Amino acid sequence: MNIISFLPLFVSLVFTIATASSDSGLYPSYYDRVCPEALPTIKRVVEDALAQERRMGASLLRLHFHDCFVNGCDASILLDQTTTIDSEKNAAPNANSARGFEVIDKIKSEVDKVCGVPVVSCADILTVAARDSVVALGGPTWNVKLGRRDSTTASRTAADANIPSPFMDLPALIKNFQDQGLDEEDLVVLSGAHTLGFAQCRTFRDRIYSDTNIDPAFASHLRTICPQVGSDSSLAPLDPTPASFDVKYFTNLVSKKGLLRSDQALFNSGETGELVSEYNGNQNEFFEDFAESMIKMGDIKPLTGNRGQIRNNCRLVN
């Protein structure tokens, strides 16, 4: 083959390689050769954990959110407090609230065992575990882009500043998501993750005693769970089916039964209110958009190449 006839083949090969990856440097087949059993192992451990406690699916999904919103999807949320690490676990949105760390430890142990060496990052484990949790609870699936590396630092200050608060109004929420490169559609569809799980009394007390855009009977019921003083950690479901990924969350918002102030704020005039109504009536559309927004969120400032490391223990820097 002379160089002229070889050229189209070479150009085609370069194009194929380029388009198989993404602007973020991540691509779904990242572990296919180095450890083809990595993703099936993550899925197995996640499903085992949910078989023991279905609520764990919401917890694993939440870990991924809270990780990505603090300096990118780099597993910084998993680092324990040390003399040099100001752990994000101690930030207000995570303290006595974030959970699932033991499941991540188990996944890491099992994945490293089947791979032989630590080649799968804790950041990728968080991302895949979030997807597998959604699927296990009846939600959509998507191709997770992979190849993230793990941070060597954490920031409790950034976690306090950047993780959305349940007390935020709509303008604050829109700005919070815009700061992460996410738009209003992403805000509404990713908030739909609150179709899973529970919230603590301290996060919705002000809403049920002070807000007017709330169904009176709904507020009255919640007051039996959450008194004005005490019971801060008492739990209420974020929607009527907290272990099923569905559109009941949006149904709640339309009925003024959003548990958190930040949730009910979405059912307002303008684009966010229209999207809430759309998703309430079209589960397929919600599932499709949720998958797209999860991929987009997973692209927030990943560490790739020589940046960061592959941790041997997800709780500690190597």
Q: Which residues are catalytic?
A: 66
Integer Cα distance of 311 and 308 in angstroms: 9
**What are the C-alpha distances in Å from 212 to residues 189, 302, 315?**
24, 41, 43
Task: Decide if 237 contacts 55 (C-beta within 8 A).
Answer: no
Integer Cα distance of 303 and 147 in angstroms: 8
Task: Decide if 170 contacts 266 (C-beta within 8 A).
Answer: yes
The torsion of the CA quartet 36, 38, 43, 46, rounded to 10 degrees, works out to: 170
Rounded to the nearest 5 percent, the helix, strand and coil shares of the chain are 55, 5, 45
Q: If 0-12 CB within 10 Å is exposed, 13-18 middle and 19+ buried, where does residue 228 land?
A: exposed
∠ CA(138), CA(235), CA(192), 5° rounding?
35
